[in-house]
Amino acid sequence: MLVTMIDMNSPEEPANTDSHEGHDHAEPERKVPVANPNPFTNSSTRVIAIASGKGGVGKSSITTNLAIALAQAGKRVAAVDADVWGFSMPRMLGVDRPPDVEGEKIIPPIKHDVALISMGYFAREDQPIMWRGPMLHKALEQFLTDVEWNNPEYLLVDMPPGTGDISLSIAQFLPRSELIVVTTPQIAAQSVAQRAAFMAKSVDLTLTGVIENMSYFLGDDGKKYEIFGSGGGQALADKLEVPLLGQVPLLTQLREGSDMGQPIMVSDPDNVASLAIKQIAQTLIDTYKPTKKYRKELNLISD
pLDDT in tens, 137-159: 677 788 888 888 888 999 999 98
Question: CB count, 10 Å around CB of 245?
Answer: 25
Query: What are 228-285's pLDDT values in tens digits?
Result: 888 889 999 998 899 999 999 998 888 888 888 899 999 999 999 999 999 999 999 9
- Compute the distance between CA of residue 194 and CA of residue 214 in angstroms, rounded to an integer: 17
Q: What is the pLDDT of residue 119?
A: 78
Instruction: Look at residue 64 in the predicted model and tell me its pLDDT.
Output: 96
pLDDT at position 277 = 97
Of 193-202, 203-212, 281-290, give the range with the top mean pLDDT.
203-212
- 166 vs 158, more confident: 158
Q: Is residue 31 scored above 90 in pLDDT? A: no
CA-to-CA separations, 217 to 233, 264, 267, 268, 275, in angstroms, rounded: 16, 16, 19, 17, 15
14, amino acid identity: P
At 93 the pLDDT is: 93
Give the pLDDT band of residue 88 (cuts 50, 70, 90): confident
Task: Name the burial class of residue 222, with classes exposed (0-12), middle (13-18) and buried (19+) by CB atoms within 10 angstroms of its CB.
Answer: exposed
Mean pLDDT (whole number) for 170-179:
80
194 compared with 42, residue with greater pLDDT: 194
* DSSP 8-state symbol, 105: E
Please tell me the predicted confidence (pLDDT) of residue 13: 41
DSSP state of 296: T
Across 63-72, 196-205, 244-253, least confident range: 196-205
Q: Is 244 helix (H, G, I), strand (E, B) or coil?
A: strand
pLDDT computed for residue 24 by the predictor:
45
pLDDT at 172: 76
Using alpha carbons, list the distances in angstroms from residue 115 to 82, 119, 164, 189, 303: 14, 14, 26, 31, 21
Give the closest residue to 91 by CA, choosing from 124, 140, 135, 137.
124
Number of alpha carbons in the 13 Å side-chain half-sphere of residue 285: 18
Give this prediction's pTM: 0.79
Say yes or no to pLDDT of 28 above 50. no
What whole-number distance in Å separates Cα of residue 117 and Cα of residue 89?
A: 9
Phi-psi region of 237 (alpha: psi -120 to 50; beta: other; left: phi over 0): alpha
pLDDT at 85 over 70: no
58 near 72, Cβ under 8 Å? no
Residue 123 has pLDDT above 90, yes or no: no
Task: Tell me which of 120 and 63 has the higher pLDDT.
Answer: 63
DSSP strand pairing (206-218 vs 224-225): antiparallel
Nearest to 48 by CA among 139, 166, 214, 170: 170
Strands 114-118 and 110-111: antiparallel
Task: Find, among 156, 120, 112, the residue nearest to 267 by Cα.
Answer: 112
What is the average pLDDT score of the chain? 77
Angle in degrees, 0-180, between the axes of helices 165-173 and 133-145, rounded to the nearest 10: 40
pLDDT at position 131 over 70: no
Measured CA to CA, the distance from residue 229 to residue 3 in angstroms comes to 45
Indicate whether 70 pLDDT > 90: yes
pLDDT of residue 295: 45
φ, ψ at 102 (rounded to 5°) = -125, 110
